[in-house]
Amino acid sequence: MPRTRGRAPAGGRADALSQEVVVGAAITLLDELGERGLTFRLLAERLQTGTGALYWHVANKDELVALAADQVLGHAMAAAQLPAEGAGSALRALGIAVFDGLDQHPWAASHLTAPTALHHGLRLLDRIGTLVARTGLPAERQFAVSTVIFYYVTGVGARIIAPAVTVGAVTSREDFLARAGERWSSLDPGEYPFLAGAVEDLRGHDDRDQFVTGLDMLLNGLHTTPDPTPPA
């Protein structure tokens, strides 16, 4: 993103930084302190500069966190090992890679749930759409299916991951699930037959397995076919 906001700080300090460097340092602080703990003062101290230099690269904290989340998404996509053949397998590998990347930075998950105009968000949607087009799905259905997969990977993935940010601030995931299990155990089995019988599943479930199960259900509906000549 070009530097069009704010005014250049005195002394030319902005030229010693870049938006990528600022965002990268913000990711480190977000991982350490969470979104509430990130301040421009701390970020400036970490980068050994003044806060004015930061505003030359980002307009405010909201933009900074959004850019940081987008960079996390970019790293996750870069780490994805996509098979050369089989659009369905590639979509699965891409979705899991994004989930794993966000799971390493839980604060980022909730910032990818809305339609995005940021670079890596657009790249993710385009990559999904390109793979969906290889499945043989009729052209008139490709946009709808591509956006559904995008919203599942970013939206549902965020719903699974993001609670760890709030829960982790006050209690462990295990304690949280144990308390929820106690609540489910107290339910009337006649009124809540499924929940009353799923207490142990709740306590012991794996978030990643839950995400992959839903992704597989979604992709199985595509009836994908191999494409031996993927586009460059």
Task: Provide the residue ranges of all domains of the chain, joining segments of one domain with +.
Answer: 10-59, 72-220
* Per-residue pLDDT at 87 exceeds 60: yes
| CA angle centred on 36, ends 35 and 42, rounded to 5° | 90
Task: For residue 155, give the DSSP letter.
Answer: I
On the question of pLDDT at 66 being above 50, the answer is yes
Q: How would residue 11 be classed by pLDDT, with cut points 50, 70 and 90?
A: very low
Q: What is the pTM of this model?
A: 0.81
Return the CATH number of the domain spanning residue range 10-59.
1.10.10.60
Cα–Cα dist 14/47, whole Å: 11
Q: Which CATH architecture has domain 72-220?
A: Orthogonal Bundle (1.10)
Contact 93, 151 (CB under 8 A): no
Checking if the pLDDT of 94 tops 70, the result is yes
Q: Which of 34, 102, 115, 32 is nearest to 69 (CA)?
A: 102
Distances (CA, A) of 30 to 23, 166, 197, 230: 10, 14, 38, 37
* Terminal Cα-to-Cα distance of the chain (whole angstroms): 26
Rounded Cα–Cα distance for residues 162 and 50 (Å): 32
Higher pLDDT, 102 or 180: 102
- Distance (Å, whole) CA 54 – CA 160: 32
What's the rounded Cα separation, in Å, for the pair 155 and 161?
10
Share of the chain above pLDDT 70, in %: 82
What type of residue is 52? G
The predicted pLDDT at position 181 comes to 86
For residue 116, what pLDDT is reported?
65
